[in-house]
Amino acid sequence: MTGEGAGEGKPTAAPAIDARDLTRTFGAFTAVDHITFTVRAGEVFGFLGANGAGKTTAIRMLTGLLAPTSGEARVAGYDVYTQAEAIKRNIGYMSQKFSLYEDLTVRENVRLYGGIYDLSSREIRERTHRMLHRLGIEQVAGERVGAIPLGWKQKLAFSVALLHEPKIVFLDEPTGGVDPITRRQFWEMIYDAAAAGTTVFVTTHYMDEAEYCDRISIMVAGRIGAIGTPAEVKHQFGANSVDEVFVRLARSDTPGRGAA
């Protein structure tokens, strides 16, 4: 708790993310309203919610982009108020736009992000090599990202987000606009990352993807309407699918049972 920069040696406390009564208001509007939840280290956590339910605001607070109005949150064991810098070094982030520079080559993109996360030239070289080999895209290493297929771009962006071996990776609608097969392959990559110990925090609009998560939460109007394993959530609402729960919650637009 000694401010930023005290980073490295500190062991991650049990939960990867621990939010208590986390709140953010914009003027009179409460975007995120006292949400409390934990994400366990190494799990795949699905963060669901309709557009405008407050997902983005919550993610911005957890990634250190936005200061909370009130409440508490620790990400990778660091406080979002006082240790934003340490948080930034320990998380990865990928948005639905894939966050790569289209006019830079694959290799140049990797080198850029490696440099930003303070990797040495050797580390960058080795990891780039491994990554391209794993993805099976060595042949396009020198191509501009704008010229490679969408599916490759998406996998590449995910790998780049994992390049600095973060404790938690935030994926904001990572599978928007890609075909079902690529989506499936992408989820295999997510499982691989989780198996390697990385906590995955993922938002999605695809309810079948929600079923792949270890645990999910569904945000409704700034609050958490449901949280638990997909089976628990379905059971709780007496529903057959997460989709059903989601639609019911979104329609009511009032929090179901309180989070906690």
Partner 1 sequence: MRALGGFVGLLRKEGYHILRDRRTLAVLIVMPIVQVVLFGYAIRTDVENVRLAIVDPAPDYATLALRDRFTAAGVFRTVAVLPGAGELDRLFRSGAAQEAVLFEPGFANHIARGTPARVAIITDATDPNTGSAMQSFAAAVIQSWERERAGAVRAIRITPQVRMRFNPTRESSNLFIPGLMAFVLTIISTLMTAISLTREKETGTMEVLLVSPLRPAQIIVGKVLPYLAIGFVSILTVVAEARLVFHVPLRGSVLLLLAEGLLFILTSLALGILISARTSSQRVAMMGALAGTMLPSVLLSGFIFPIESMPRVLQWFSNVMPAKWFVIIARGIMLKGVGLGVLWPETLILLAMTLVLLAASTRSFHVRLD
- Site residues, partner 1 (CB under 8 A): 26, 63-67, 85, 88-89, 91, 93-104, 108, 111-119, 170
Nearest to 21 by CA among 48, 61, 53, 49: 61
CA distance 98 to 78: 26
| Minimum distance of partner 1 from residue 95's CB (angstroms) | 5
Contact 214, 200 (CB under 8 A): no
Nearer to partner 1, 12 or 25 (CB): 25
CB of 148 to partner 1, least distance (A): 16
Q: In angstroms, rounded to a whole number, what is the distance separating the alpha carbons of residues 46 and 25?
A: 24
Q: What residues contact residue 83 under an 8 Å CB cut-off, 6+ apart?
A: 1, 3, 4, 6
3-class secondary-structure state, position 6 = coil
CA 79 vs CA 20, 47, 222, 226: distances in Å: 12, 20, 21, 25
Nearer Cβ to partner 1, position 161 or 245? Answer: 161
Min dist CB 109 to partner 1, Å, is 9
Q: Name which of 50 and 100 has its Cβ closer to partner 1.
A: 100
Q: Which is nearer to partner 1, 119 or 190 (CB)?
A: 119
Nearest approach in angstroms of CB 89 to partner 1 is: 5
